[in-house]
A and B are shown apart, each in its own frame.
Chain A
Amino acid sequence: MKSIWENYKTDAAYDELMYSESQPRPVSHRLCQYLNTLKKTDFDQRKMAAELAIMEMGITFTVYSDEGNIDRAWPFDIIPRIIDIKEWQKIEQGLKQRLTALNCFISDVYANQEFIKAGKIPSETINSSKNFRPECVGMKPKHSVWANICGSDLVRDKDGVMYVLEDNLRVPSGVSYMLENRVITKRVFPELLQDINILPIDDYPTQLQDMLSSLAPHPVGKPQIVVLTPGIYNSAYFEHAYLAQQMGAQLVEGSDLVVKEDDCVYMKTIEGLEKIDVIYRRIDDDFLDPEVFRADSTLGVRGLMRAWKAGNVALANAPGAGVADDKVVYAYVPEMIRYFLNEEPILPNVPTYLCSISEDMEYVLDNLAKLVVKPANESGGYGMLVGPHATAKEVAAFRKIIQENPRNYIGQPTLAISTAPTLCKGKLEPRHIDLRPFILQGENTFVTAGGLTRVALKKGSLVVNSSQGGGSKDTWIINMEEN
């Protein structure tokens, strides 16, 4: 019988689990030992068991298409991705440092703008940011934290170094899939999980609840917390419902809430109106309040900004926090860490060329075929150019788009992002992956043990987004010393 590892090639990029076809890295030694005891049919069976579990648990995401919205089962690869706890502890420190600096920066943007005055970032960059909200100037959210929930995307390059690719500070999603992936793995490989020392992840909902409670504007016994969802047609609706359920919070839609003359937010219940203290909102700023932002929004709540500014309700993340979720502002994060914290960044940025700077733009235009070019404010992997994978025609078209709106584009070298063994048609093949850990900041700061590993299931593809053919893996942080 042929090995499941047959022709496993690790030379194109850093492989998270394998040195080579036959040699596992120390972290994956036990896993590989175990996988080698399985027959090919076992893999098929486990994969089917996972798929069945996903169907039954109803873990879905919604894909927007011309024929309406379709609920798809969450694509999951049963082979976990593993990180040694020693490396992880450093990453965790780096993520805490980063979010702390980002929150200092956002506070500063909406207050005295010392960072701009010190010449660390052009004021133009801030003022032209789509997510800078002049309405928020002068606000002081509790604990001076604007971005309470952050999902940072990490990738490992060929040199083995873990880089931060972006920080999602608006309404990052994926954490429910991280939690469900572990539940599935426990069902698929029960014998394996028993004898490897993996850090647990299931305290996230509790941590989220604690963090949200710490934001309550007034001291009350138990603050009334709600999760505000755009509704059932949103791609992350599953997650909104999941998190509300896990926290025992109410899941509300805009039409369930009302702001009264006293500038307080109430929800419409069977007992009448009930006051809300904290809103974990999963609606973008633009749609939050038709009184202040988009007037045509039917998802939000009229008067919500009034209530927030009056200090009667906490919003997480705070409106305006997205100013730091901009790929141009991203380039300045290392400088923020130095300026606000007086520390050196623990986690490096990917080198970034800003098309708003003329030398940088020239470099980008000259090297389009080598670079990845991204719009500053999109998410979900939309509207980007992956130079090495694009046709000459696509490159030419993109050149024009950049020249029309340089502020909106950045270029980065195409990283050979790391791979991990992934089950493809009964064989293990390397597929590119990234990692999205989730960081919570309120009174305290918390980082998930690991995060959501996303995998580009298509051979050679670097795009891991679920809307574009990506899947996910369970992520294990393991303690080798106690094993």
Chain B
Amino acid sequence: MLSRSAERLYWLARYMERTENTAKLVSVHMNLLMDLPKDVEMGWQQLISINGQSSSFSDHTKLANERNVTRFLLADTSHSGSLISSLNAARENIRTTRELLPDEAWQQVNEMYLFAKSNLDSLTNRSSRVQFLNEILKGCQGYNGLLSSYMSHHHPYRFIRLGKNIERADMTSRILDLASLLLSESRSANLRQYETLLWMNILSSLNALLMYRQHVRSRIDGDDVLNFLLLDKKLPRSIGCCLIEIYDCINELPNHDSLPSKTAELQAYVDAIDTHQTTQLQLRMILDELQNQLNELHQQIVSNWFLKITPQ
């Protein structure tokens, strides 16, 4: 397999995962805010800080209201982290690796992109936004489904899985950042009142609510949620599970060098996290360290398999 193709597939997977995560996040957040009173410190601004995009956002727009934030996250072509930009980047990567993928995969991504592009203007309207997000999520599910059922599980597939899980782990850690708000000592009484709802919202953003209920089988509790999303080994979007996937892919790829042991170290770090009675500060430090290590892992993947050939 060409190094250049490996690189493009890895990025294809990251951008597709980012597209799906962004759609899901906005969609869940919209639902949540319909239920919350206006003065709770959980508004549209939080969605921007999740992705570390605050400065980029304030360059563009001043007011972090629903209209501006959703436009920024979904439709802003000048913002590289927006859904449309991710989808466009995914499409460029799949366009140049078509020969490695089932026909339907290219068509699926191409259709999604064309659909998104022609509907960008309708997103200010809430009900068409809901519809739009549903379509995108369906598209992502279709894409994931056809790759896993049509594609041989060889190297190309491993690079896709690798990219997907790195992106996924990263996104989960960012959503957990949002959760750290709920651990703040100084949080308002109002926020405390809606705490359960907010923890549920975090689980839903990661499609984990139902699985949590089956797994924990008691009322929703912050410590348990953190534990579940960080350490669980079976939930597809938990950090622990993503790391297992990453480890498996890396281990099956040729010339993996010191990467498996590096990944194993990261797994050990995560396993050792104690989510019991975590303070806001502790959680933030854990997550920062996690994101740094994921980034290091990414850099090593790049230099191990891609970098010598062509820049992305």
Contact = CB atoms under 8 A, between A and B. Distances in A.
Interface residues of A, number: 23
A56 interface: yes
Nearest to A241: B98
A270 interface: yes
A255 interface: yes
- Interface pairs A-B: 9 shortest CB-CB: A245-B99, A244-B99, A271-B254, A58-B110, A241-B98, A251-B99, A270-B305, A56-B111, A270-B6
24 contacts: A56-B107, A56-B110, A56-B114, A57-B107, A57-B110, A58-B106, A58-B107, A58-B110, A227-B99, A232-B95, A241-B95, A241-B99, A242-B98, A245-B98, A250-B5, A255-B4, A255-B309, A256-B2, A267-B2, A268-B4, A270-B3, A270-B6, A270-B305, A272-B255
A253 interface: yes
A249 interface: yes
Interface string A406-423: 000000000000000000
Contacts of A55: 110, 114
A270 B114 contact: no
Interface string B103-125: 10011001100100000000000
Contact of B3 (A244, A245, A268): A268
A55 B110 CA distance: 8
A250 B107 contact: no
A271 B4 contact: no
A98 to B, nearest CB: 31
A269 B3 CA distance: 5
Interface residues of B, number: 26
B253 interface: yes
Given A56-B110, A256-B4, A271 B255 contact: yes
Interface in B1-38: 1-6
B155 interface: yes
B107 A270 contact: no
Nearest to B113: A58
Interface in B149-208: 155
B2 A252 contact: yes
A270 B5 CA distance: 9
A269 B101 CA distance: 17
B217 interface: no
Interface string B78-112: 00000000000000000110111101001100110
A245 B101 CA distance: 8
Q: SS class of chain A's interface: helix, strand, loop or mixed?
A: mixed
Contacts, number: 63
A269 B2 contact: yes
Q: Is the interface of B mostly helix, strand, loop or mixed?
A: helix
Interface in A367-395: none
B308 interface: yes
A270 B99 contact: no
A255 B100 CA distance: 19
A339 B103 CA distance: 47
B253 A270 contact: yes
Interface in A128-155: none
B1 A271 contact: yes
Given A252-B2, A267-B2, 8 more contacts: A57-B110, A58-B106, A227-B99, A232-B95, A241-B96, A268-B309, A269-B2, A271-B1
Contacts of A251: 99
A270 B110 contact: no
Nearest to B305: A270
A57 B104 CA distance: 9
B310 interface: yes
Contacts of B111: 56
A269 B100 CA distance: 14
A242 B106 CA distance: 11
Interface in A102-124: none
Interface in B224-274: 253-255
